[in-house]
Structure 1
């Protein structure tokens, strides 16, 4: 594949409809502090491209988790693969369900139709076209995503009398708040939480997640693969920037009559669709463009997951117990992709009856990434880590992050000031009951942005300690080798291992020559 389709697909794979709807609402109700996370993406890109990607590209394995078997053993590979599969199945079922309920509530589009159309169409082209179909449709869908958020920025600018008025009114409302440098981990968004948490989150997605690594292996050389990562960063940052500005634009329009407090919407995620229906319905085609953009965001995420999970299933599960003929693999991959697409559909319908699964699925998606990144980091950056220590580190790390994420009760986030003075009806802003954060268990007050870093560090520390205290044979020792394969380690460590091996070989040759 060429560089640009892969770079755009890397961005589209995880910019779901939930992201578009959520980021705009985030900036509307909590301000622009969240935008700082884009700095973390810039810091993480060279780390992913220089330290992690060369290992996967050099091995050229179908499944990312094959690396774990080569480095540690088959048990850890299966544990990590099952964790990834559960994470992606649950998340993508919700990705399919979430935009359907939002659009139904504000546009009247029946959620059954939304789920079936998106799910079946995505399953169809992912099954028939494979990875190439996913990459090129991601490119088209990304254009529609950009078109949807650009239309909101342009239209709100026209309503306000100029693009600069978005920022004038946002500043008046206290939305341009970039200056929170607090080191308190209980504060929702600070520079430290966004940069450190964003860094670990980005690496867990773009450095070791199978969905992304699979795309990065579709180009011909390592240099081109690294270019894909470098190009995906500005594309991701541009979409993030426009989505943030769209949230500010909607705020500037509704500055004097908030739709949520005035009961025009029942959840803050409905803000963007409500604006489209309320303000843009008079312009032919714009509402349709927005709906296409929202559905495209879901399609790109679901199609990526179908293909990635199909590859993991055949390689990590079926291939371990059955010898597959090369002629059968393409057809089995298509069947697996189809099965996962239908599974997402079933989960989307079940999600309607499971209440809090939406937030739960998104939390699982974040909580699992940090511990898995810790597993791969121990494998690539150390020679002492063993399967027993890393497995215990992964299980205990996930238990810790899930406890942090699901612990209840927890204090609700505090919104920035809102206004309803401009509403036609007299509306009183409800005063939330005063809550004392110290009444909540400290672990539950920690910002969700610290979940991934905590999981990452937990696996590194626990995995290292147990590996050093509880020795176990490494895979290369079981094969009778006295040194590890340098290709399993990050380039700086691999160079040291090769130099050490060359020195050992030279010493052996010298000893042999002296004997003769």
Structure 2
């Protein structure tokens, strides 16, 4: 792979971005409360405003994976992936008005404390361990993606890039806590947009406008919007993108610790819901602009695909390769692009580090401390261990990034990781928030079976390779087309008989199936286990269980109805106007 033209101006821009990110961490370490309490360190004193939280919600998961993965997606498969934005619109009210009010009432540092109050500590521990595994795997991919960018542009090895990025991110996350992470997310979000629009603008200049880019995409079959096949083995259709996108979105923005922790950092429920709604256009703008950037890159390489010509090892390197080919004549622009890629990764890793440190402290350290020492860990003594935990997770992220290259395309790999864990996690929270008859044993059974099933179909194999759109090498000056490239060029991907049917499913169904298995087994298992244990007295047990329900643990619309029914059974003339207070913001602690 050729070494790129990364000059002094580019290096200065990149160094400035990394230094500014580190300084933000130092600023919040030595200002305000100086991160002396876990409330400030992990929850930003619940004093943040809507604006930074909205950008942070986007940057937490749609970072380098989106910048490189989605552009490669439209380059290889067309624009159909943009349909997933419909699922975001449909899912936002569910997250904002079903799940978020429940967590806001509790105002706990770990979202998994809800599961302990609803079902028991066993459920809380199982869910938090699954989340920890999910985020650790995801951090490795998020750090690996920009390392590819730096290697393609400057020739610096992936190892060096991983170490520099990982150490900077670990530094400001550990020093500045959630406040520093949220503010750097805003700063880094603008750099992400700058990187994407730099690609589009430079391509438009070379093409003579945006219309030629669109026309070339149409001529080569990249404009795809109307795939309505009911076949679940088709990689992307409207049904897979909307249904799979909704479950994936809710697993991230509805019940994921990383996002809920940010939503609880604002001062009231209304502001938190506003942050979730404002995240929608921010996320949509990045999604559509990144899809178009893939078309812009395709316009430039329409007659000479870099992978087939042997200039790159993976199409995840397309965007940085385009940058080095087209932006070198503009001083500092290539550095700005790489800074955007780096910033995208930094925002994701820092978000993961803060959420993992919160879960580790609340779900592992404090319960263990109470068992060993017989007392609760004091607030004044928990901040330092939390910072040490954050530092350890940052270093672990660096180690895992070195092995992330074996997971395939970064976009599909990241969505697979979120799908196989996120579906079952969404399932147990849905059972808790929306059902009365579920219990810990049934929910745990459903969760474990959902996880096993999701991991089986998500990481089992062999799986058939996806069918790519055609590419060309007719315009290549150097015909370095290997046998593998010829096979890709012919684009012959056959559904061989030995592929197990479940392995042929679209990766977007992994999350949905894990969710459905957890819901079905969890609900039915709860009823069956209750009847088995209480035999003929099962109805008496259920009636007794309902009388002791904490209605604040249910979705607002359901908790109001169930509480009204319970009170009417006790007193038919009962009318409690205070039920309307359930939808009001909780008072800050």
TM-score (norm 2): 0.82
Q: Which residue of 2 aligns with 1:266?
A: 313
Does the alignment pair 1:340 with 2:399?
A: no
**343-352 vs 83-92, which moves further:** 343-352
Partners of 1:280 and 1:360 in 2: how far apart?
A: 29
1:458 alignment partner, SS class: helix
1:145-191 per-residue CA deviation (whole Å, 9 max, x = no partner) reads 00000100011011100012211111111101111011110100000
Partners of 1:311 and 1:506 in 2: how far apart?
A: 44
Does the alignment pair 1:503 with 2:542?
A: no
Partners of 1:501 and 1:214 in 2: how far apart?
A: 33
Q: Which residue of 1 aligns with 2:459?
A: 406
Q: Which residue of 2 aligns with 1:147?
A: 194
Cα 1:440–1:12 change in 2 (3 A) is same
**305-314 vs 360-369, which moves further:** 360-369
Identify the match of residue 137 of structure 1 among 184, 187, 202. 184
Cα 1:310–1:436 change in 2 (3 A) is closer
Q: Which residue of 2 aligns with 1:78?
A: 125
Q: Which residue of 2 aligns with 1:115?
A: 162
Does the alignment pair 1:245 with 2:298?
A: no
Q: Which residue of 2 aligns with 1:454?
A: 513
**128-137 vs 398-407, which moves further:** 398-407
Partners of 1:74 and 1:170 in 2: how far apart?
A: 54
Pairing of 1:117-516 with structure 2 (within 5 A)? 117-322=164-369, 323-349=376-402, 351=404, 363-426=416-479, 429-430=486-487, 431-432=490-491, 435-471=494-530, 482-506=547-571
Cα 1:458–1:191 change in 2 (3 A) is same
Partners of 2:420 and 2:197 in 1: how far apart?
A: 32
1:483 Cα deviation from its structure 2 partner: 3.1
- List alignment gaps of at least 5 residues for structure 1: 510-516
Partners of 1:244 and 1:29 in 2: how far apart?
A: 11
1:481 Cα deviation from its structure 2 partner: 7.9
1:434 Cα deviation from its structure 2 partner: 5.5
Partners of 1:480 and 1:441 in 2: how far apart?
A: 44
Cα 1:434–1:157 change in 2 (3 A) is closer
Q: Which residue of 2 aligns with 1:513?
A: none
Q: Quick check: 1:371–1:455 contact (8 Å CA) kept in 2?
A: yes
Identify the match of residue 60 of structure 2 among 4, 9, 13. 13
Partners of 1:57 and 1:96 in 2: how far apart?
A: 31
Partners of 1:470 and 1:340 in 2: how far apart?
A: 39
Partners of 2:201 and 2:562 in 1: how far apart?
A: 56
Count, aligned residues: 507
Partners of 1:265 and 1:141 in 2: how far apart?
A: 27
Q: CA RMSD in A?
A: 2.3
1:124 alignment partner, SS class: helix
Cα 1:415–1:480 change in 2 (3 A) is closer
Cα 1:488–1:507 change in 2 (3 A) is same
1:500 Cα deviation from its structure 2 partner: 2.0
1:103 Cα deviation from its structure 2 partner: 2.6
1:170-227 per-residue CA deviation (whole Å, 9 max, x = no partner) reads 1111101111011110100000000000000000000000000000001111111000
Partners of 1:69 and 1:178 in 2: how far apart?
A: 44
Partners of 1:168 and 1:361 in 2: how far apart?
A: 31
1:87 Cα deviation from its structure 2 partner: 1.2
1:443-499 per-residue CA deviation (whole Å, 9 max, x = no partner) reads 11110011111111111111111111111799x999998231110001111111221
1:367-394 per-residue CA deviation (whole Å, 9 max, x = no partner) reads 1101110110011000011111111111
Partners of 1:217 and 1:94 in 2: how far apart?
A: 27
- List alignment gaps of at least 5 residues for structure 2: 1-47, 370-375, 575-589
Q: Which stretches of structure 1, 4 residues or longer, exceed 3 Å deviation after superposition?
A: 349-352, 354-362, 425-430, 436-439, 476-481
Cα 1:295–1:413 change in 2 (3 A) is same
Q: Quick check: 2:467–2:492 contact (8 Å CA) kept in 1?
A: no
1:89 Cα deviation from its structure 2 partner: 1.3
**429-438 vs 79-88, which moves further:** 429-438
1:506 Cα deviation from its structure 2 partner: 2.5
Q: Quick check: 1:8–1:232 contact (8 Å CA) kept in 2?
A: yes
1:107 Cα deviation from its structure 2 partner: 2.6
Identify the match of residue 53 of structure 1 among 100, 112, 123. 100
1:115 Cα deviation from its structure 2 partner: 1.5
Q: Quick check: 1:206–1:212 contact (8 Å CA) kept in 2?
A: yes
1:235 Cα deviation from its structure 2 partner: 0.3
Q: Quick check: 2:316–2:409 contact (8 Å CA) kept in 1?
A: no
Cα 1:478–1:219 change in 2 (3 A) is farther
Partners of 1:239 and 1:411 in 2: how far apart?
A: 30
Q: Quick check: 1:13–1:304 contact (8 Å CA) kept in 2?
A: yes
